[in-house]
Structure 1
């Protein structure tokens, strides 16, 4: 049976870059909501000799995600999921951002947990934003609601975002939603391990993709300039890390988040320390 890797948000950016890597020795099930981009990505992968199945799927729709995993199971032995589907603050309002990033991760993660065989791994894409938002703003105590009552979870998350003016809520929703991704990937590790599964998250910094560049004028560009490595990350650099985390070579890696941001958070932290020391 063919080894299969399922990649959400696979029609471009980091998702497509990852498909090109894991597709060297896996059949790939590629998921996205943008049909034209999905068609182009499918053609590009086939041109590289990758066995690919493209599925138009909205990760916020639990039934659609369940059907997506059924498609993956029919393609072979599901060994990994790279969950790269997500949206940035410039792409919608706070509710849309939260539902896509947080509920989307919950849906993909829970269907993976329910259907994947032992030894499989899921890599969730979080963000350096989850490392920058002050802890007192993150409603971590409410995160477990996602596993019990998604409507109540959404109500609590949007209430947490309402501490800032309307025009800033998409931004804080993004940071909170990615904090949830990071939390989920840590908090569920023991439960996943009971089924022989691994779960990790990776927090990219500012990456030179279409979505990443949407945030350039909203602060991402300034953070790149001030980072320890003062440049944008490349989708291929992130993809190599995702692929490694999902592979058997990382068989001891679970329940953690890997920050891959060119030193942005390190630089912010150290400059804050120096400023405080000099005050």
Structure 2
């Protein structure tokens, strides 16, 4: 397996992560390393991929822990040449409070991106998953001046980016605010790192999904995701295989000139508001 191409997929135990693992494993014939924080779900995902004749394995990984992320990459690198990382792991407003949302979605992306950059070689691609919510944030509420602290003082960065959510009137709005900011940061951070990846002949992009028919996506119906469909050009939830195909394409050699940008895949919600 030494010469085999390898792809890491965070959050690969279900939803769009598992769907993307299926696409890359079947179409690109990469060895797939999926990670998640739930071993039982990882075991089920590996069994599913193996049944589909996809070369794969799992690593229990907490993306908010730098050492855990290092172990994930070490495992993948021991299997072959790292071709891509698709970073789908994250939490939504219904799953956590603002502090946890920011640590998982923002700090987790920092850890994955920094580690990927160290190991990036010619042709490598990192795809960070953002969200349609990032495009819906009023500019005045985005603490963008704090984003630069992510490169120098992560603790201050986390405090300053969580701060705006404290002024929201309810738990739902506080969590939603933190989520939108965390994903807006993912887009900003991916763009800011494009030059560094480019120096190695590698790429980094973000993809912003809208409402998709996944476990997390359905959970967010309580946060109003279904209401968003009323404004969409396509009035339905997206299918996991649809976003998986996009993520896999962005990570592939076919998208070799795509970097430093965000790809919005929301069924036309944001476009309808223009």
Instruction: Settle same-fold status: TM greater than 0.5.
Output: yes
Map 1:122-137; keep pairs closer than 5 Å.
Answer: 122-137=126-141
Aligned equivalent of 1:245, options 223, 247, 250 = 250
CA contact (8 A) 2:120 2:197 kept: no
**RMSD of aligned residue pairs (Cα, Å):** 0.9
Is 1:82 paired with 2:86? yes
Residue of structure 2 in register with 1:276 after alignment: none
Aligned equivalent of 1:29, options 25, 33, 46 = 33
- CA-CA distance at 1:117 after TM superposition: 1.9
For 1:227 and 1:88, locate their aligned partners in 2 and report how far apart those are by CA, in whole Å: 20
For 2:139 and 2:196, locate their aligned partners in 1 and report how far apart those are by CA, in whole Å: 25
For 1:202 and 1:87, locate their aligned partners in 2 and report how far apart those are by CA, in whole Å: 16
- CA-CA distance at 1:148 after TM superposition: 1.0
Residue of structure 2 in register with 1:109 after alignment: 113
Aligned equivalent of 2:54, options 26, 50, 54 = 50
Residue of structure 2 in register with 1:190 after alignment: 195
Is 1:201 paired with 2:206? yes
Flag structure 2 segments of 5+ consecutive residues without an equivalent.
none
After TM superposition, what 4+ stretches of structure 1 lie above 6 angstroms from structure 2? none
Residue of structure 2 in register with 1:277 after alignment: none
Aligned equivalent of 1:41, options 45, 58, 62 = 45
Is 1:14 paired with 2:16? yes
For 1:68 and 1:235, locate their aligned partners in 2 and report how far apart those are by CA, in whole Å: 24
Residue of structure 2 in register with 1:257 after alignment: 262
SS at 1:236 equivalent: helix
TM-score (norm 1): 0.95
For 2:60 and 2:170, locate their aligned partners in 1 and report how far apart those are by CA, in whole Å: 32
Aligned equivalent of 1:149, options 149, 153, 156 = 153
SS at 1:252 equivalent: coil
TM-score (norm 2): 0.96
- CA-CA distance at 1:166 after TM superposition: 4.8
CA contact (8 A) 2:129 2:209 kept: yes
Moved more, 164-173 or 56-65: 164-173
For 1:246 and 1:15, locate their aligned partners in 2 and report how far apart those are by CA, in whole Å: 13
For 2:169 and 2:158, locate their aligned partners in 1 and report how far apart those are by CA, in whole Å: 18
For 2:8 and 2:90, locate their aligned partners in 1 and report how far apart those are by CA, in whole Å: 15
Residue of structure 2 in register with 1:275 after alignment: none
For 1:161 and 1:254, locate their aligned partners in 2 and report how far apart those are by CA, in whole Å: 31
For 1:68 and 1:22, locate their aligned partners in 2 and report how far apart those are by CA, in whole Å: 18
Flag structure 1 segments of 5+ consecutive residues without an equivalent.
270-279
Residue of structure 1 in register with 2:100 after alignment: 96
- CA-CA distance at 1:59 after TM superposition: 0.5
* 1:68-94 per-position Cα deviation (integer Å, ceiling 9, x unaligned): 111110011000000000010000110
CA contact (8 A) 2:132 2:208 kept: yes
